[in-house]
């Protein structure tokens, strides 16, 4: 939505302004604008009407599991299951998120909505036979979308074989949304041990 109800004050060579909607007015380089309808601040980087860039409101979160020995089990082939039976921790790296539910999810706090880069890394192993697994990022407990999971085939070896799975994608998150790690076995219903894992979200804008 274009700017309406624009109010501008000059401070030296820059302008401080506010209005409703995305800024589309000419202003000097370095000028600041606040969209009062959303609370989003903007800065003009070029001095033109198209030179407005949103100022990022910091938002980030991280949870992890380490040296886990509890298996994740599947009721059926290709059935996604939550990892909420595992003991996830956080290193205090939370701004805009809280660790929620059974501590297996990151939940976005109020006024932190936006686009986030989300990364999931896990070390999976200890199957009873050679199987293929998917590891992915769920939003609000829903099935991970096609671009939010990756696969690996883990061989049955002695000692047990482990494979790393890395998932990175971008999500538009709203206030109150949760993100968490889900897994499935696509070749059988053989359980898996998620030995180590980290789930990280960082706000892009």
Taking the C-alpha atoms of residue 136 and residue 89, their distance in angstroms, rounded to an integer, is 18
| Structure-token match 């407990």, residue found | 141
DSSP label at 2? B
Taking the C-alpha atoms of residue 118 and residue 148, their distance in angstroms, rounded to an integer, is 9
- Give just the sign of the alpha carbon dihedral 60, 141, 144, 103: positive
Reply yes or no on whether the pLDDT at 1 is more than 70: no
Kindly tell me the burial class for residue 25, based on how many C-beta atoms sit within 10 Å of its own C-beta (0-12, 13-18, 19 or more): middle
Beta strand segments in 40-86, E: 40-44, 52-54, 60-65, 71-72, 81-82
Give the tokens for residue 182. Answer: 């889900």
Q: Which contacts (CB < 8 Å, 24+ apart) does range 157-161 have?
A: 160/125, 160/126, 160/127, 160/193, 161/125
Percent of all residues in the chain with a pLDDT value above 90, rounded to a whole number: 78
Taking the C-alpha atoms of residue 199 and residue 101, their distance in angstroms, rounded to an integer, is 15
Closest CA to 43 of 68, 17, 74, 61: 17
Lowest mean pLDDT among 101-115, 140-154, 170-184: 101-115
Lowest mean pLDDT among 25-29, 157-161, 194-198: 157-161
Reply yes or no on whether the pLDDT at 103 is more than 80: yes
User: Which residues are within 8 A (CB) of 203 and not within 5 positions of it... i.e. 6 or more apart?
Assistant: 56, 57, 58, 59, 60, 96, 112, 114, 115, 116
The pLDDT of 179-195, averaged and rounded, is 96
Reply yes or no on whether the pLDDT at 10 is more than 70: yes
pLDDT at 127: 80
Q: What domains are defined for the chain?
A: 4-54 (no CATH), 60-203 (2.60.120.40)
């Amino acid at each position: 939505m274009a700017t309406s109800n624009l109010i501008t004050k000059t401070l030296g060579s820059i302008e401080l302004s506010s209005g409703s909607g995305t800024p589309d007015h000419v202003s000097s380089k370095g000028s600041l604008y606040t969209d009062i309808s959303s609370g989003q601040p903007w800065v003009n980087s070029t001095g033109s009407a198209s030179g407005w860039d949103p100022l990022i409101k910091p938002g980030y979160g991280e949870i992890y599991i380490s040296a886990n020995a509890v298996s994740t089990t599947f009721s059926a082939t290709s059935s996604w299951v939550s990892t909420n039976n595992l003991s996830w921790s956080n290193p205090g790296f939370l701004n805009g998120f809280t660790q929620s539910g059974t501590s297996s999810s990151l939940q976005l706090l109020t006024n932190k909505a936006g686009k986030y880069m989300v990364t999931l890394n896990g070390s999976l192993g200890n199957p009873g036979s050679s199987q293929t697994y998917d590891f992915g990022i769920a939003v609000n407990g829903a099935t991970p979308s096609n671009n939010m999971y990756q696969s690996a085939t883990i061989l049955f070896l002695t000692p047990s074989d482990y494979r790393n799975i890395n998932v990175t994608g971008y999500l538009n998150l709203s206030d109150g949304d949760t993100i968490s790690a889900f897994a499935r076995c696509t070749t059988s219903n053989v359980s898996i041990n998620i030995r180590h894992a980290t789930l990280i979200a960082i706000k892009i804008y």
